Amino acid sequence: MLATLPIERLSFPLALTHSDKPDFLLAMPDGDVGIEHTEAVPENVARAEFLREKGLGPDVYFTPHVVPGESRKTAAELRSEIEANAPGTGWVGDSPQRQWATAMAHCIKEKLPKATADGFVRYPANWLIVYDNWPLPAVNYAKAASYLAPLLADMNAFSVFNAIFIHDDSKMCEFGESPIIRVLVKPGTEGNAAL
């Protein structure tokens, strides 16, 4: 997890401790940070992936269209969809960016009441880290971030979290005063580069 965070956000020496409510405590000389972590993945897609790993359906398949918060499908419905492997309607224009923003906003909004509930420890700084595992074609993160930023402001997310980080295996989007998109690199190679 630390490898994904921008180095300028850290002070050393530091200690990362797994806890509960929030998920982690990042203790640093400049101040402690409570870190809540979540994965943005549709439940039906995760369940379908489990079935695919058991050998159901083709090895290569179409990316499904998913609506945040959609109802849980039965195993029979999932099997039918996997076997049909229908291409769907596709994405047009900036629809991947808009759908990404809607999906990330949905996942973040679900975390807000949990982070303000009794028993959730607040620290001088509180961050939310979201692992983006939402099924979409290639996303232009700079454009997608411009759609997500006003949604975060509308839900008052920054009254709960000082910073929100959304990442996949290649990019990190940092939301705070203004969105910053970073390219992630594997440890041992060149440092993170802001876009």
Q: Grade residue 32 by pLDDT with cuts at 50, 70 and 90.
A: very high
Note whether 8 and 67 are same-domain residues.
Answer: no
Residue 43 pLDDT more than 70?
A: yes
Per-residue model confidence (pLDDT) at position 7:
83
Note whether 80 and 105 are same-domain residues.
Answer: no
Note whether 8 and 55 are same-domain residues.
Answer: no
* Cis amide bond preceding 13, omega within 30: yes
Tally of domains within the chain: 2
Number of Cβ within 10 Å of residue 124's Cβ equals 10
- The tens digit of pLDDT for each residue in 143-175 reads 999 999 999 999 999 999 999 999 999 999 999
Per-residue model confidence (pLDDT) at position 15:
94
Note whether 76 and 28 are same-domain residues.
Answer: no
Note whether 47 and 37 are same-domain residues.
Answer: no
| Strands in the chain per DSSP E | 15-18, 24-27, 33-40, 125-132, 163-167, 171-175, 180-183, 193-194
Note whether 140 and 190 are same-domain residues.
Answer: yes
The last residue of a domain, from among 55, 84, 113: 84
Instruction: Establish if 36 belongs to a structural domain.
Output: yes
Instruction: Establish if 189 belongs to a structural domain.
Output: yes
Instruction: Establish if 154 belongs to a structural domain.
Output: yes
- The tens digit of pLDDT for each residue in 91-105 reads 999 999 999 999 999
CA distance 66 to 160: 27
Residue 191 pLDDT more than 60?
A: no
Q: Grade residue 4 by pLDDT with cuts at 50, 70 and 90.
A: confident
Indicate the pTM of the whole model: 0.88
Give the rounded percent of residues in the chain with a pLDDT score beyond 90: 82
Residue 52 pLDDT more than 80?
A: yes
Q: What is the mean pLDDT of the chain?
A: 92
Residue 193 pLDDT more than 60?
A: no
Q: Grade residue 190 by pLDDT with cuts at 50, 70 and 90.
A: low
Domain that holds residue 188: 2-41+94-194
Q: What is the mean pLDDT of residues 18-47?
A: 96
Q: What is the mean pLDDT of residues 4-29?
A: 91
Instruction: Establish if 89 belongs to a structural domain.
Output: no
CA atoms within 13 A on the CB side of 47: 13
